[in-house]
Structure 1
Amino acid sequence: MTGTWPLWPSVLALLASAAVVVFAGSRLARTADELADRTGLGEAVAGAVFLGAVTSLSGIVTTATGALDGDAAFALANPIGGIALQTVWLAVADLAYRRANLEHAAASLENLLQAVILVALLSLPVIAFATPQLQIGWVHPVTFAIPLLYLYGLRLVRRTHEAPMWRPTRTEETREDEGGPVRTQSLTRLWVTFGLLAVVVAGIGWVIAKAGIGVISATGWSSGVTGFTLTTVITSLPELVVLIAAIRMGALTLGVANIIGGNVFDVLTLSVADAFYPEGSIYGPAGPVTLVLLGGTLLMTAVLTAGLLLRERRGVGFEGAAIPIVYAVTIALAVFAV
């Protein structure tokens, strides 16, 4: 590839990017928590819309940059890997929150509905992989279907928040979505702070993409596996930092919604990848490795959905143990398929 960065500058850029997103992520959690209270949206909706979108910005820029550089496997593997790794972050957070199982304590019908929507959204790229010859212009029709289904899903989540037809059983371990203390910072200043942090997260995505492609070029590693693991670790750090910060603040629903809502938003990045890929539909040249990664991510999402539904009270639960195992097996299968 032309214009790629050398190995060591790429590695240093990835490390510097990690430091920046850790700082931005901790500030994002506090700002979004207050916005959830001040706007009346609630933690689940705010976590999905505010945090889910903003913490995904670095991944979007990374994916768009990889697609423009013509690396189809990298461009698709990065958002799919983000969804997978961010699901693993919930298992990590289960270890950090020792009072109860996190999926039990953060009981939310909105989060459960979003997990179901995520499964539906991830099924669309499977269809695209099977029909790469279908194109509207230079993109696959699924590229248009994904954002439409996403917007309809948001409408369902908002309706569920305003008039729920089902409610999770409240137990002594359940943490309610309660408003935090009144702050003196103006709502305008909150939005400005949130916007500036969003710009920082988005800008760092370009650095991560160029550094990741530099590592691929210098080492000869698989684009798909690198996008699923190395660069995804950096682009997914905001979600982990926000999740841990939200747990420490007691905003459990916000933290879990940040992960699931971010995962739902990340599926939109697949449309970005296809739109920015200059050689037609991206699904054909992406190869079978990406399909393996997608299948593993779908399985992880299904396990998480079951965990949200069954709500084991103590420990990490079956989902906390199964999700990292599925993630590791998925990577091993992808390496084997290269």
Structure 2
Amino acid sequence: MDFWQDLPNMALLAGFGLAALVVLLSGLRLTAIADRLADRTGLGEAIVGGVLLGAATSLSGTIVSITAALDGRASLAFSNSVGGIAAQTVFLAVADMFYRRTNLEHAAADLGNIFQGLILIVLLGLPFAALTTPEVTVWAVHPVSFAIPLVYVLGLVANRQIQQAPMWTPVQTDATRTDESEEEESGSGASTARLFATFAALMLVMGAAGWVIAKTASALIDRMALSESLIGALGTAVVTSLPELVTTVAAVRRGALQLAVGGIIGGNTFDMLFLTAADISYRDGSLYHAVTMPDYFWIVTALLMTGVLLGGLILRQRRGPGRIGAESVLLLLLYGGAVAVQVLA
């Protein structure tokens, strides 16, 4: 901790920026690998996007929350998690702008993504359950932190069952893009094992970058007397979410629409595991009772944005204002309004 506190402001900002660049560049490689693994393993774009790609691009954010909690920074650890969910959801509205054929949510119809979104709403409600109940802990960990990974795993099992034996499917239209296997590019015939190894190596690099981001952000918060909630939700959360923005837009441009939507929703559900990791790392009691209302404000924002997104996936509007879906417009307005409230508060 002393090492980071002794660095000048310019060195801290440079370290923060360099780590952000590493996260961004590492994330650039993940989409193509995840798309090929979806074809190789036969799991499908929605499952691979929701689990493999979502977990990988979220790793740097996980490290930020754990590091902040170990340093006793409850608000930074908490807001980094839930602020990232709001930021990543609005990335789908940005991606919608890059898909000009029709509304992205119409073309990427997939039951697995809708179900994963419902699981996310349940997970987002659990911190409120912790807040409105007595501050009871087991080994300094609130029981809700044990419930979050349980719900997450059960959701994955149920989602896999839905993919294998769906009880209903979205109506196929001339604008619906299905999950199709693509031909291997010339010179890209790497083995499946090598693809997984490359994927794992990129995850380690992103994890190291996340640690640097947490340390430099903590030092800057102390140096400049900044709000942990503000920096967590709009600083570290957005920076560590940059891979999701890049991979989502890249996936849309490649035509892997279900992978794009699944990567965002899956990454958001995985981000809820940040809270369990942070609560375990926070040794001063329940993390959910140590944070402030501005931190919970971002859970409310994430809940509203997830509801709007699910509405768009079910309604499947073909065209909306500005040739994007009406839900994309609402997502942009909700996030922009949340940022304004947080900054002006």
Runs ≥4 residues deviating over 4 A: none
Contact 1:129 1:291 in 2 (8 A): no
1:327 and 2:335 correspond: yes
The one-letter code sitting in structure 1 at the alignment partner of 2:191 is S
Give the whole-Å Cα distance in 1 for the aligned partners of 2:331 and 2:217. 25
Question: How far is the alpha carbon of 1:329 from its aligned partner?
Answer: 2.2
Question: How far is the alpha carbon of 1:293 from its aligned partner?
Answer: 1.5
Matched residue SS, 1:55: helix
The one-letter code sitting in structure 1 at the alignment partner of 2:76 is F
The residue aligned with 2:32 is 30
Q: Percent identity?
A: 48
Matched residue SS, 1:135: coil
Deviation larger for 2-11 or 190-199 = 2-11
Question: How far is the alpha carbon of 1:333 from its aligned partner?
Answer: 3.2
Q: Give the number of equivalent residue pairs.
A: 337
The residue aligned with 2:234 is 229
Question: How far is the alpha carbon of 1:164 from its aligned partner?
Answer: 0.8
1:318 and 2:318 correspond: no
Contact 2:20 2:213 in 1 (8 A): no
Give the whole-Å Cα distance in 1 for the aligned partners of 2:16 and 2:225. 18
The one-letter code sitting in structure 2 at the alignment partner of 1:136 is V
The residue aligned with 1:65 is 67
Give the whole-Å Cα distance in 1 for the aligned partners of 2:283 and 2:131. 18
5+ unaligned residues in a row in structure 2: which ranges? Answer: none
Question: How far is the alpha carbon of 1:335 from its aligned partner?
Answer: 4.2
The one-letter code sitting in structure 2 at the alignment partner of 1:297 is A
Cα displacement string for residues 119-151 of structure 1 (whole angstroms, at most 9, x for unaligned residues): 011000111122251212201110000000000
The one-letter code sitting in structure 2 at the alignment partner of 1:327 is Y
Give the whole-Å Cα distance in 2 for the aligned partners of 1:6 and 1:135. 39
Q: 2:190 aligns with which of 173, 181, 185?
A: 185
TM-score, normalised via structure 1 length = 0.96
Contact 1:91 1:321 in 2 (8 A): yes
Contact 1:17 1:234 in 2 (8 A): no
Contact 2:98 2:253 in 1 (8 A): no
Aligned-residue CA RMSD in angstroms? 1.4
Contact 1:110 1:157 in 2 (8 A): yes
The residue aligned with 1:272 is 277
Contact 1:6 1:215 in 2 (8 A): no
Contact 1:72 1:277 in 2 (8 A): yes
TM-score, normalised via structure 2 length = 0.94
Cα displacement string for residues 52-105 of structure 1 (whole angstroms, at most 9, x for unaligned residues): 111110000000011011111110000101100000100110111111111111
Cα displacement string for residues 13-50 of structure 1 (whole angstroms, at most 9, x for unaligned residues): 22212221222112100101000000000000000111
Mapping of 1:209-288 within 5 angstroms?
209-288=214-293
5+ unaligned residues in a row in structure 1: which ranges? Answer: none
Contact 2:301 2:338 in 1 (8 A): yes
